[in-house]
Structure 1
Amino acid sequence: MMAHLLRLLILCLMLPGLAPVAALAQQSDAPAVLVADRVWLEGQSRVIAEGAVEVMQGDVRLRAARVSYDRDSERLLIDGPIILTRGENEVIVADAAELDRDLRNGLIRSARMVINQQLQLAAARLDRVDGRYAQLTRATVSSCQVCGTRPPLWQIKARRVIHDREEMQLYFDDARMEVLGVPIFWTPRLRLPDPNQTRATGFLIPSIKRNSQLLTGVKVPYFIKMGDHRDLTLTPYLSSETTTLEWRYRQAFANGRITFEGAVSEDTLYNKGRAYVQGYGQFDLPRDFDLSFTIEAVTDDAYLTDYGYSDADLLESNVTISRVRSDEYIEARLGHYFTLRPGESNSEIPSIVGNVLYEKRLFPRLGGELRFKAEEHSHLRYSTTPGLGRDVVRLNAEALWFNTWTLPLGLRAEGLVGVHADGFITRQDALPANQSGVSPTAALTLRWPWVRNQANGVSEVIEPVMMAAWTGGSGLAVANDESTRVEFDEGNLLSLSRFPAPDRREHGLRGALGLNWTRIDPQGWDARLTFGTVYKADVDGNFSPSSGLRNSVSDLLIAGQFRNQAGLSLTARGLFNHDFNINKAEARAGWSSDRYALSASYVWLSADATENRPSNVSEWLFSSDFDLGRHLRGSLEGRYDIAADEPVSAGMGLLYANECVEVELSVSRRFASSTIVTPATDFSLTIGLRGFSAASASGRGVAKSCR
């Protein structure tokens, strides 16, 4: 046996036809290795290898029962069964083959090709041309598992199929699409990407969409590859009520990327053309700066909701330059806002907003940390009417010193002293044109953590907390344009000011008391519970009644979180007044696993005219995603207005996916109505054939089992 192998290896190196078997991968210069049970010379020009013949070079491997090489004709005759593989992405199985010495040209009989372990191409004859093209005659193409003599779920039969390895494309002549053996579609020419393709110009998966306003239509996206770093997708959307062209443009740069998308429509709902555009981008700039931008624009208030593009009621366009370092933060931002809300006028809201922020941290030798902050903010309204067209420029600066100490009995103390300086310029309003003030401040926070560690690894911490703070000066006579919504929660219980922006500050003497309980179990469940309240020497009328902070003694804050190893998580927070009535409350729950994902939330907000909320808000919403079988997954979602006792929206979806097809069905209903939005029902159906892109190889599909 060793003599046969040695003789065959010598012949492999001598014969120019057998050594370059890796001409299937011409770039490889690795030596070819040929193994067989028997090898002999027949005459002066024929070499025959027989019995478990195997030829290997690089990632190419050829297995056959018999291989003969004729030096005069430079032809290889290969008897099967034949298995020819190239890496993991291409396998050819055949009965017999006749190829040239480089295996680049010739024919293979009764061949079956598998590309990227997804797509099967079976043909009576396969012709190789220049090592690049594979021409299959009387071919059948499918990515479905074939069970016995039963037809697959889908298949494409064609008189001829050409596979271009370099372009990663499949070209069909006289193609017929069959579903369960029943012909449903024929075309003289068809081009599809092969499973190795990641980006190629061509049609994407179409979808059928029905809207109660726009009726039934079809979307047919067309992807245009514009080089390796940019592309354009055009999606015509046609129905009896609308003619729409959706589009998306993407481009990647060496230092960033941009994406723009939008749509243009002519429909029966509006007497003029309609359109929207949305874009965003990010770029890395020199010296660690970052540039980002967002663009949002629409022709009319109802367009986004009519077509289901977005539920946004306030559009924001902005450009931001920022830099983040461990001891420094710089940001310059310019934004534009456009409201779609009924009853709001774009001339009366702050439409143009500019902001420049600088923060610096220093660590002096005396200990602690110094923080400096300077900010310029301005907002402009288009209206020139006094009051309604108020324009404001705000300048703020602050210097704060922090330090922490560990006291006896494990008590932790944090001290703060500093000063705030504020200046305001107001135009087109009855308020004073110029206001300024300086506010010194000091605060002391005490924490006393009690820790218990158990033998099973569970740790519990009970931590009483207390804060005493004082801020001098008094409030300025300036408009409240930024701090209109104040959220009191466990995150700002011990904050120096609970207003979201420095156009308002808390002044005078105040304090806070709280209690935290935390449980940590690496193998079980974790939980955290917080109680807190705020005390003030003076009532602050800048807080809204529902904020829980307006009185000298705030509402009681109760907040909690829970999480376990089974995927269940709960979060809740509430503000309870002195009669233990709820001013604000919210709760969220989630439960996730490999087979399902469930989430629900509830919110309660009491009526508050200062927050533009004339009546109570009480709503819950839920969403779910769950397996209904090996191939079927469902989803449900809904939103209900408890205060109005009516649904807001509802939806459901089904997704069927196996190794060769993906079908997605969704139905949704919007019940809400306003002066610009009417109730509507949306239906969408998308059917995609798997196996014609590299992305489908990593999808959810699980192969069907044969029974």
Structure 2
Amino acid sequence: MTGRLGVVSGDTSPGAKRRPWPAIAALVVIGVLFGAPSGLRAQDTAQDAAQDSVTTETLLQADEISYDDNTDTVTASGRVEIDRGGRILLADQVTYDRATDRATATGNVSVLDTNGTVLFFDSLAITGDLKEGLARDVRVLLADKSRMVGRGFSRRDGNINELFDAIYSACDICADRPPVWQIRAGKVRYDQKEEMVYYRNARVEMLGVPVFYTPYLAHPDPTAGRKSGLLLPAVGGGANLGVSYRQPYYINIAPDRDATLSPLFTTDAGSGATAEYRQVFASGDLMLFGSLVSGDAESNKDFRGHIRSSARWDIDENWRTGAELHLASDRTYLRRYGFEAPTWLTSRAFLERFTRNTYFSAEAFNFQRQRGSLGLSQTPIIAPLLQFSYVSDSMPGGSYFTADSNAVVLVRTDGSDQNRFSAAVGWHLPYTSDLGAVTTLSASMRGDAYYVRDVARPSEGDTYTGTAGRAVPRLSLEWRLPMINSSGPLTQMLEPVVMGVVSPIGQNPEKIPNEDSRDLEFDDTNLFSAQRFTGFDRVEGGARINYGLRWSLFGARSGTITTFIGQRYRFHRDDVYNPLSGLNGKFSDYVGHVDFAPNPYVYALYRFRLDKDNLAARRSELAAAVGPPIFRLGVNYLFVKQGDPSNPAIGDREELYVAASSKINQYWSLNASHREDLSPGGGRIRTALGVEYEDECFIFGIDFADDNTFDRDFKSGISVLLRFNLKTIGEINFNTNVSAAR
């Protein structure tokens, strides 16, 4: 072997026979010890190590270096340090026997690998070609701070490293107690090529007590990437599935793609599997996820399942396309089998273009309702939905133009259909006076063209099929004057805001169905909107004035208080609004908010809508949190006046949510929550309590929940979830539903 020796220091002993150049050549061989099982990640073959010795500089420091002709050995002793390619060997003495091609390091031997792994030995013996090696009482500190010890160590075939009578743990070592968890094994084998760790006759111990035994266990090297193999299972039991067992198997297909297959077995709800495929491209990604199970007697179905997938592709710096698909076989499948279950499953395909001044999108939507009574035939399909927006550069004087267009085709199997095209242009002039008053003048023109089918006309008692249209000019002027006063550490701001809007009235004929403007919630966030409806099918008409007053108080370092109250006045009545919206009549209800955050431990936000005649609450929202991490309390309250005197089935909505959490100490935390329906005939919705322990190597959690919701074959009730997470190994969950909903 040859190599480049960077540093040789120390004195040779007087009694030793010296041949400096053979000694130096032999010490180069010692240098290749750094290909030894440092961090259990040696070079794959002796040939690789030899090649590495040619291209990598070897640095040696020692108090004494000698060569003995009689024994044909080279010895470096006294604070020996050899650095080869960033791998460092420290020892009291290193001896290389040329005849046997063996090197031995003794006395406080440690090896630091380039990945941060450190091995400690009392002595280490290895062949010159690095294929064979032996050691006793090895201790390993891996790069992720996990540890492994063994009474013996061997290396064979150039890439197989074995520890005997070994212990592995990611926990810190305490002198007075065993680690929270550890794995004991008769033999641990590390396969360098496979980057896998294998255990024989392994048992898991918790606080020194054996809790689990297996004749075979394997997991990837903590420094390795993704590896194919079994993941930890999920075990459960309860009223929905009976006893259930889910066993994931991970497949590492390539660096840019993987898959997970999870067979599912239940005693009461059939058996099946879930499958997931993921792939990342240079300019996008793909995710396919779905499930399929055999039916059960309760659901009266042969098969049940779902699919949830997404794809995205960045065509270039301006264009992007993608799709999302979310479907389920029936309305209770997702909740019963433990999948995410939103009220609506939305499938979407899209194409988008972004530039500095423009935005364009083409979309298609399909919806599937998971709760309620709306049938599939009444659910719309939207294809396509086209949108375009343009904002010009600022012109002399600060004004700018906008242009927007929107087109949609909406069809149903049973119900009304709609084809619509809308286009609008606008001119806007913001201006700030010398006094600080901010004025914005806007003028716009919008046109809508419709072709509709089977639209109900209550006034005529029939349905309408044909065309409809309208033109909506609009002029608005907004004025605000922020006034600031500072006194000592406090700063106040008082800001009156007034906005006037003028547009024609009577722009909402029965021929135009209301598909996208039904959800109008009047509050302080849209008081100063020229068009409060969120969609295109309904427009605000007539002359109106929006006005409000904002007051804020700021501390020098922290702490803020902000309040706002406002109202709208109309010069003409308009029946386009829902009677409970707060916008009927000339004067609207009062809307506003109070935002209180004096310090990091106290926060409250209260939003309100008050009746214009008697100041009774029409809508109240409160979100508050108080306390440090050792005990923090949160409250959310919602009240909406939505009762219809003509329909007793529709009542007011009132709900309270209370949550508390406590970080008891460095390791233990508690959390609890309760949600209550306060409306008449309501009651408890859900109560939950959780306890969690987490340290450097272990997470344990137990969560209790009492859910009072139910839906056909989905049964809620009291559930218990146990979580055991052995960091660096994985997590296993046990979930059970103790009783059905009452």
For normalisation by structure 2, the TM-score amounts to 0.86
Residue 12 (structure 1) shift: 4.4
Could you tell which deviates more after superposition, 14-23 or 605-614?
Answer: 605-614
Equivalent residue, structure 2, for 1:488: 522
Structure 1 Cα separation of the partners of residues 136 and 662 of structure 2: 47
Tell me if the contact between 2:9 and 2:63 (Cα under 8 Å) persists in the aligned partners. no
Equivalent residue, structure 2, for 1:615: 651
Give the 3 Å change call, closer, same or farther, for CA 371–30 of structure 1 in structure 2: same
Residue identity in the other structure for 2:11: H
Residue 377 (structure 1) shift: 1.9
Residue 111 (structure 1) shift: 1.1
Equivalent residue, structure 2, for 1:445: 478
Tell me if the contact between 1:394 and 1:503 (Cα under 8 Å) persists in the aligned partners. no
* Deviation string, structure 1 residues 416-462 (Cα, Å, up to 9, x no partner): 11211111111022146211111221111111110123453x43221
Give the 3 Å change call, closer, same or farther, for CA 655–460 of structure 1 in structure 2: same
* Deviation string, structure 1 residues 178-214 (Cα, Å, up to 9, x no partner): 3444444443332211211341112223333233332
Structure 1 residues 598-609: aligned runs within 5 Å:
599-608=634-643
Tell me if the contact between 1:197 and 1:692 (Cα under 8 Å) persists in the aligned partners. no
Quick check: 1:314 aligned with 2:326? no
Give the 3 Å change call, closer, same or farther, for CA 685–222 of structure 1 in structure 2: farther
Structure 2 residue corresponding to 1:584, chosen from 619, 640, 658: 619
Structure 2 residue corresponding to 1:99, chosen from 117, 122, 126: 126
Residue identity in the other structure for 1:18: I
Structure 1 Cα separation of the partners of residues 606 and 274 of structure 2: 41
Structure 1 residue corresponding to 2:370, chosen from 332, 340, 361: 340
Residue identity in the other structure for 1:80: G
Taking only aligned residues, the RMSD between alpha carbons, in angstroms, comes to 2.9
Structure 1 residue corresponding to 2:34, chosen from 2, 22, 31: 22
Structure 1 residue corresponding to 2:94, chosen from 67, 91, 97: 67
Structure 1 Cα separation of the partners of residues 686 and 408 of structure 2: 38
Give the 3 Å change call, closer, same or farther, for CA 682–353 of structure 1 in structure 2: farther
Structure 1 residue corresponding to 2:300, chosen from 271, 294, 299: 271
Structure 2 residue corresponding to 1:373, chosen from 400, 404, 412: 404
Structure 1 residues 412-451: aligned runs within 5 Å:
412-429=438-455, 430-431=463-464, 433-451=466-484
Equivalent residue, structure 1, for 2:416: 390
Residue 367 (structure 1) shift: 4.3
Residue 608 (structure 1) shift: 4.8
Equivalent residue, structure 1, for 2:11: 4
Quick check: 1:658 aligned with 2:689? no
Could you tell which deviates more after superposition, 446-455 or 618-627?
Answer: 618-627
Residue 641 (structure 1) shift: 0.4
Structure 1 Cα separation of the partners of residues 240 and 663 of structure 2: 32
Residue identity in the other structure for 1:377: V
State the identity %.
24
Residue 508 (structure 1) shift: 1.2
Residue 143 (structure 1) shift: 2.5
Tell me if the contact between 2:9 and 2:60 (Cα under 8 Å) persists in the aligned partners. no
Structure 2 residue corresponding to 1:633, chosen from 662, 669, 676: 669
Structure 2 residue corresponding to 1:118, chosen from 145, 157, 164: 145
Residue 17 (structure 1) shift: 1.0
Equivalent residue, structure 1, for 2:40: none
Give the 3 Å change call, closer, same or farther, for CA 210–539 of structure 1 in structure 2: farther
Tell me if the contact between 1:66 and 1:79 (Cα under 8 Å) persists in the aligned partners. yes
Structure 2 Cα separation of the partners of residues 9 and 217 of structure 1: 72
Tell me if the contact between 1:523 and 1:565 (Cα under 8 Å) persists in the aligned partners. no
Residue identity in the other structure for 2:467: N
Quick check: 1:506 aligned with 2:540? yes
* Deviation string, structure 1 residues 199-231 (Cα, Å, up to 9, x no partner): 111222333323333234333322221111111
Structure 1 residue corresponding to 2:110, chosen from 65, 83, 104: 83
Structure 1 residue corresponding to 2:604, chosen from 555, 560, 570: 570
For normalisation by structure 1, the TM-score amounts to 0.90
Tell me if the contact between 2:332 and 2:711 (Cα under 8 Å) persists in the aligned partners. no
Structure 1 Cα separation of the partners of residues 105 and 648 of structure 2: 83
Structure 2 Cα separation of the partners of residues 535 and 185 of structure 1: 73
Equivalent residue, structure 2, for 1:531: 565
Q: Which has the higher contact order (CA 8 A, sep 6+)?
A: 1
Could you tell which deviates more after superposition, 460-469 or 205-214?
Answer: 205-214
Structure 2 Cα separation of the partners of residues 335 and 592 of structure 1: 44
Structure 2 Cα separation of the partners of residues 62 and 256 of structure 1: 45
Structure 1 Cα separation of the partners of residues 324 and 628 of structure 2: 35
Equivalent residue, structure 2, for 1:286: 316
Give the 3 Å change call, closer, same or farther, for CA 118–367 of structure 1 in structure 2: closer
Show structure 1 runs of 5+ residues with no match.
Answer: 384-388, 697-707
Aligned residue for 1:544, secondary structure, equals coil
Residue 538 (structure 1) shift: 1.5
Residue identity in the other structure for 2:481: W
Could you tell which deviates more after superposition, 462-471 or 659-668?
Answer: 659-668
Structure 1 Cα separation of the partners of residues 649 and 561 of structure 2: 33
Structure 1 Cα separation of the partners of residues 627 and 442 of structure 2: 43
Quick check: 1:673 aligned with 2:710? yes
Aligned residue for 2:300, secondary structure, equals coil
Could you tell which deviates more after superposition, 602-611 or 667-676?
Answer: 602-611
Structure 1 Cα separation of the partners of residues 20 and 516 of structure 2: 83
Tell me if the contact between 1:607 and 1:614 (Cα under 8 Å) persists in the aligned partners. yes
Give the 3 Å change call, closer, same or farther, for CA 329–592 of structure 1 in structure 2: farther
Structure 1 Cα separation of the partners of residues 30 and 162 of structure 2: 24
* Deviation string, structure 1 residues 123-178 (Cα, Å, up to 9, x no partner): 22211235533111232222334444854443333332111234321012333333
Structure 2 Cα separation of the partners of residues 575 and 418 of structure 1: 30
Show structure 2 runs of 5+ residues with no match.
Answer: 1-7, 37-42, 44-48, 456-462, 733-742
Structure 2 residue corresponding to 1:58, chosen from 80, 85, 89: 85
Could you tell which deviates more after superposition, 144-153 or 52-61?
Answer: 144-153
Structure 2 residue corresponding to 1:552, chosen from 586, 594, 599: 586
Tell me if the contact between 1:205 and 1:688 (Cα under 8 Å) persists in the aligned partners. no
Structure 1 residue corresponding to 2:228, chosen from 201, 207, 214: 201
Residue 4 (structure 1) shift: 2.0
Residue identity in the other structure for 1:423: A
Residue identity in the other structure for 1:519: L
Structure 2 Cα separation of the partners of residues 337 and 60 of structure 1: 59
Aligned residue for 1:72, secondary structure, equals coil
* Deviation string, structure 1 residues 600-626 (Cα, Å, up to 9, x no partner): 321111125599981100012244554
* Deviation string, structure 1 residues 5-24 (Cα, Å, up to 9, x no partner): 99999744664412333335
Residue identity in the other structure for 1:445: E
Tell me if the contact between 2:10 and 2:65 (Cα under 8 Å) persists in the aligned partners. no
Tell me if the contact between 1:194 and 1:691 (Cα under 8 Å) persists in the aligned partners. no
Residue identity in the other structure for 2:438: R
Residue identity in the other structure for 2:656: W
Quick check: 1:362 aligned with 2:398? no
Structure 1 residues 464-475: aligned runs within 5 Å:
464-472=496-504, 474-475=506-507
Give the 3 Å change call, closer, same or farther, for CA 654–258 of structure 1 in structure 2: farther
Residue 591 (structure 1) shift: 5.2
Equivalent residue, structure 2, for 1:301: 331
* Deviation string, structure 1 residues 265-316 (Cα, Å, up to 9, x no partner): 3345422222112122322123511223221111111112223323422211
Tell me if the contact between 2:669 and 2:691 (Cα under 8 Å) persists in the aligned partners. yes
Equivalent residue, structure 2, for 1:699: none
